[in-house]
Amino acid sequence: MDIDLLLAIAHHLAVFTLVAIFAAEFALVRPGLGGARLRQLANIDAVYGAMAGIVIVVGIVRVIFGASGWEYYVGNMMFWAKMAAILVVGLLSIMPTLAFRLWHKAQATDAAYEPPLADIKRQRRFIHAQAGVFLLIPIFAAAMARGYGG
């Protein structure tokens, strides 16, 4: 097997795993969040951040060592649109992560703690925005893979 194939496989598996983790987080953040579900959310969010880091590292390695060469990527507008979308998803994930940490800390002092409904709704808006921007990433990737933006 060649390195380009291995990097493509690793990148795709990491991305699909990231999306699955995001879907779990998306499903958990709803009214009535507390107890074991709140602890689970804190753990899932930590894994989400770690997996995002893996996706980025594998992506960088793929740009540098993949068959297309880094020159292909840096001169491609679809690549930069994809990078911008990834950045926006990352920025949109900051507020929910901070909230989840606060909620988890509050639960550590009060086992019956449940986040206020207004806080849950606020974080769901960020999560929905992430989902919307997430949809752009495979669109830009497919366009780039077919030579658009170069």
Each residue's pLDDT tens digit, 68-117: 888 889 999 999 999 999 999 999 999 999 999 999 999 999 999 999 99
Q: Is residue 132 included in any domain, yes or no?
A: yes
Residue 26: domain span:
3-145
Q: Is residue 150 included in any domain, yes or no?
A: no
pTM of the model: 0.90
Structurally, how many domains does the chain consist of? 1
Residues 120-138 have a mean pLDDT of 97
Residue 1 has pLDDT above 80, yes or no: no
Q: Is residue 81 included in any domain, yes or no?
A: yes
Place of tokens 């969010």: 45
Q: Is residue 83 included in any domain, yes or no?
A: yes
Q: Is residue 74 included in any domain, yes or no?
A: yes
Residue 18 has pLDDT above 90, yes or no: yes
> What are the pLDDT digits (tens) for 21-56?
999 999 999 999 999 999 999 999 999 999 999 999
d(Cα 10, Cα 13) in Å, to the nearest integer? 5
Q: Are 59 and 15 a contacting pair, CB within 8 Å?
A: no
Task: List the alpha helices (DSSP H) in 66-135.
Answer: 70-74, 77-109, 117-134
Residue type, 58: V
Supply the pLDDT for residue 150: 81
Q: Is residue 21 included in any domain, yes or no?
A: yes
Q: Is residue 30 included in any domain, yes or no?
A: yes
Supply the pLDDT for residue 67: 86
Supply the pLDDT for residue 69: 87
- In this prediction, residue 130 has a pLDDT band, given cuts at 50, 70 and 90, of very high
Residues 115-138 have a mean pLDDT of 97
d(Cα 134, Cα 130) in Å, to the nearest integer? 6
> Positive or negative CA dihedral for 61, 67, 73, 78?
negative
Supply the pLDDT for residue 68: 86
Q: Is residue 134 included in any domain, yes or no?
A: yes
Supply the pLDDT for residue 91: 98
